[in-house]
Structure 1
Amino acid sequence: MATDLQVTTNKLSNKETQLTVKVPVEKIQNKVEGRISQVAKTAKIDGFRKGKVPMSHIRSQYGAGIQQEVINDVIRDTVFEAIKAEDIRAVGMPNIDDVKLEDDFLVYQATVEIFPEIDVQGIDEIEVERHTATVSDEYVDTMIENLQKQRQEYVEKKGKAAKDNQVTFDFEGSIDGEKFEGGSAEDFKLVIGSNQMIPGFEAGIKGMKAGEEKVIDVTFPEDYQAENLAGKEAQFKINVKLVEKPKLPEIDDEFLELFGVTEGGVEKLKEDVRKNMEREIKNAARSQVKQATFDALLEKNEFDVPNAMLEQEIERQRNMMMQRFSQQFGASADSFDKDMLPNELFEEQALRAARLGIIVARVIDTKGLEVDQERVENFIKEAAENYEDPSEVIEYYTNDKEQRANIESVVLEDQVVDYLISQGKVTDKEVSYQDLLAAQQQQAM
């Protein structure tokens, strides 16, 4: 910090500090005179030639504005210098007020939000359940059957439409004898049991045969998205054209090659499926115990979060949701109106994330944790296994500093969880594979 800058600090709260900064007026005056001289070279005032305007006229006409510009520039330059000199971990931009000239000094106050310096409570009181699951032969067989279902075909069948059958039909809907928009379609395909239609619709079609017609009565749900239809009774005229049953593909060489199995047959596919499921279990269990540990810690640590941090987290979560919308609807994220996603929608989760970030950072600082580069390498290798060319993925994360830094942050957070678990009490609980993965998906929502 420049030796002529004087700074005093006053901590207003755990999340806010006020600095009083004094800058010698001489520093202001020198810059003002320099700018006045520059203006004098180009100023145009009636009655004077360019560059020949007396300095007294320049000061009279431009002096006040130039002085204010210089003061603004000096404040902008010195406030961050003062923050750095006082070793303040600022969050967001400082708020400047009470600017005045006093006793040969420019004096101003800067109120800045700071990263809260909390003492993390309850680390040794953490009690969590660590969920795990075992991959049974039955689970493997079910998974392979699911792979078959993903590639199943439908073949025509005689007789009545039953569960899992695909029905092709025309329908025409009406309410009180009047057709309504979106209530009709031709060659519509519906799998019985998919529950993609309103309640009662599938039940009305189930049991029908190709070539059969009938009218079914249904009631739109009270919370139906089209308000003009919500809660109303409707009639649909159904004309079934085709009933098909599912046909699973044979597990032959062609099927196996779809999953990269060229040798070893069905047993190799089972081995690969088991490894993948075990990897999913490992990741899901890790996610579950991390969530449980952080939840336990958040219960014991409630504190105010700087508004700037909260606003940044809200904006981050809003952008993430807009990206999801973009991927889901195939539109640019910029095409979505942010007003559709108000701050209130994200405040609760944003507050949780901001508090958690502060807690994790404090644990890292106070316990002197440093990222384990060996774990980073293992993390990258495991992630690369999910791609066709693992070496290319490894090279990407090795050479891209920003992406590697992101992985280092994830690994360091995992190290924090390991430390917290080592200080608390952990009880292992066996759950089903499906329940473990379902819980992970719920956490991600």
Structure 2
Amino acid sequence: MQVSVETTSGLERLMTVSVPAERIDQDVNKRIQQTARNVRIDGFRPGKVPMKVVKQRYGKGIREEVLSQVVQETFYAAVQQEQLNPAGGPTIDVKKEVEGEDFEYTATFEVYPEISLADFSAVSIEKKTAEIADADLDTMIETLRKQQATWVETDRAAADGDRVKIDFEGFVDGEAFEGGKAEGMDLVLGSGRMIPGFEEGIVGAATGAEIDVNVTFPEEYQAEHLQGKAATFKVTVKSVSEQKLPELNDEFFGKFGLDELTEEAFRAEVRKNMSRELKQALKMKLKDQVFSKLIDVNSVDVPAALIDREIDAQRRQAVEQFGGANSKMDPNSLPKELFSAQAERRVSIGLLLQEVIKLNKLEADESRVRETLEEMAETYQDPQQVIDWYMNNKEMLDQIKGLVLEDQVVDHLLSQAQVTEVTVSYEDAIKPEQPAPAAKEETEAAE
């Protein structure tokens, strides 16, 4: 077997492989002999079919099978011989296929990049820390009460935080516009669901009131023909309801699965959950910052094959997330551009992490694996059952080991970097660094 390799561009390689005719002929003849022993052809006894007849009838198909197998075997032998590390499957192009002559094909594929990690000692990392104040705990409990709140109709005028049921129709220059009408819509005043000025215009109106709410559509409004336009919404208030929060009593505590139905036990449980959330949020922010810095100081040539593979994975995840596991939606129908930037970032991080792991000979610490499992399991009713399930499921356990190894890489990089601790509030600690714009849930009329 003769092999030559050419660098066509960046990470792409063009490998030419020539296989001696003797090997092809030998494999073909061997396969024909095997076929002759088993094939049944009218006019011949089993096992007595002449080789010439078998070759005439089955030779072409047998040769194709042999060549396919030869390509598979010689490709992997060739990349090992040339010490290449393919990042994806090859594109095979047969260049010469003539019986009795050497078989020749080319394989085009990408290889993994050679990475030389940059010095991380000059990198500055801001490590955020936070504590849970009593006021944070009170705020969380108030949020939990609001989640269990009920609505009670009232005769008073609507105030911020009330829920109103309204009919409305919108007009621009005295003309009703498409999508500007709704009936019986529930709206919590102050929720920010509607365009600026709409909810504020209803504050002070009581049940039965018919009012005009004057607003101006935002310049960046999604419907271009309404951008920056002044509009009047004729609103009828059908009802006004105020929020009634549940009391901190046994009935309320029982909804959270507590063994001890007391306010002290409830507050302790809420604080425990907040601490878990805080720890995870700070950890993820620190990890994301370290990964971003790692990418900043290391230029990585990313194989397109790996990016495409990651995009496919993200497409499938998106379909499962929004359509469920049984969704019939084709993941490939989602635009590739939606995932390309994130996919390239993930692949870049993965390649760099692998290099850090390899250079420093890192392995998942078993004690940290156990600790991680215990932290995950403590939110379940039977933690030990969860731990046992992971320990007896190699695939799932490997995922946990991968997460732990990732944490160890972060620790290793932090040990090299210049780390400064910064104290922030609980609220700042748990909110996303770059929160996405809040999705509007209102009707088409005023979203």
Q: Kindly tell me: are residues 50 and 218 of structure 1, through their superposed partners in 2, closer, same or farther at Cα, counting changes over 3 Å?
A: farther
In the alignment, is residue 77 of structure 1 matched against residue 73 of structure 2?
yes
Q: Kindly tell me: are residues 49 and 285 of structure 1, through their superposed partners in 2, closer, same or farther at Cα, counting changes over 3 Å?
A: same
Task: Specify the alignment match of 1:355 in structure 2.
Answer: 348
Task: Give yes or no for contact 2:390–2:396 (8 Å, CA) kept in 1.
Answer: yes
- Which letter maps to 2:11? K
Task: Give yes or no for contact 2:312–2:332 (8 Å, CA) kept in 1.
Answer: no
CA distance in 1, matches of 2:241, 2:51: 95
CA distance in 2, matches of 1:145, 1:418: 37
In the alignment, is residue 33 of structure 1 matched against residue 39 of structure 2?
no
Q: Which runs of 5+ in 1 are unaligned?
A: none
Task: Specify the alignment match of 2:293 in structure 1.
Answer: 296
Task: Give yes or no for contact 1:161–1:207 (8 Å, CA) kept in 2.
Answer: yes
In the alignment, is residue 366 of structure 1 matched against residue 359 of structure 2?
yes
* Counterpart mapping for 1:33-72 below 5 A: 33-36=29-32, 38=35, 66-72=62-68
Of 300-309 and 255-264, more deviation after overlay is shown by 255-264
- Which letter maps to 2:248? I
- Give the superposed CA RMSD: 3.4
Task: Specify the alignment match of 2:284 in structure 1.
Answer: 287
Task: Give yes or no for contact 1:40–1:58 (8 Å, CA) kept in 2.
Answer: no
Aligned equivalent of 2:389, options 384, 396, 413: 396
* Counterpart mapping for 1:276-425 below 5 A: 276-326=273-323, 332-335=326-329, 338-339=332-333, 341-425=334-418
- Per the normalisation by structure 1, the TM-score is 0.85
State the Cα deviation string for residues 325-361 of structure 1 (Å, max 9, x = none).
225xxx954325633x322222222111111111000
Task: Give yes or no for contact 1:41–1:50 (8 Å, CA) kept in 2.
Answer: no
- Which letter maps to 2:141? I
Q: Which runs of 5+ in 2 are unaligned?
A: 439-447
- SS of structure 2 residue aligned to 1:129: strand
Task: Specify the alignment match of 1:106 in structure 2.
Answer: 103
State the Cα deviation string for residues 181-205 of structure 1 (Å, max 9, x = none).
5444333211110111233321221
State the Cα deviation string for residues 388-429 of structure 1 (Å, max 9, x = none).
332232222122211111111111000000011111111000
Aligned length: 433
Task: Give yes or no for contact 1:284–1:440 (8 Å, CA) kept in 2.
Answer: no
- SS of structure 2 residue aligned to 1:238: strand
- Which letter maps to 1:287? M
CA distance in 2, matches of 1:61, 1:259: 75
Q: Kindly tell me: are residues 319 and 41 of structure 1, through their superposed partners in 2, closer, same or farther at Cα, counting changes over 3 Å?
A: closer
In the alignment, is residue 151 of structure 1 matched against residue 144 of structure 2?
no
In the alignment, is residue 249 of structure 1 matched against residue 249 of structure 2?
no
Task: Give yes or no for contact 1:159–1:209 (8 Å, CA) kept in 2.
Answer: yes
- Per the normalisation by structure 2, the TM-score is 0.85
Task: Give yes or no for contact 2:36–2:50 (8 Å, CA) kept in 1.
Answer: no
- SS of structure 2 residue aligned to 1:239: strand
CA distance in 2, matches of 1:225, 1:375: 49
Deviation at 1:257, TM superposition (A): 1.5
Task: Give yes or no for contact 2:90–2:109 (8 Å, CA) kept in 1.
Answer: yes
CA distance in 2, matches of 1:193, 1:131: 32
Task: Give yes or no for contact 1:210–1:241 (8 Å, CA) kept in 2.
Answer: yes
In the alignment, is residue 24 of structure 1 matched against residue 26 of structure 2?
no
Task: Give yes or no for contact 1:172–1:185 (8 Å, CA) kept in 2.
Answer: yes
- Which letter maps to 1:207? G
- Which letter maps to 2:122? E
- Which letter maps to 1:90? P
Task: Give yes or no for contact 2:173–2:231 (8 Å, CA) kept in 1.
Answer: yes
- Which letter maps to 1:149? K
- Which letter maps to 2:284? S
* Counterpart mapping for 1:250-269 below 5 A: 250-263=247-260, 265-269=262-266
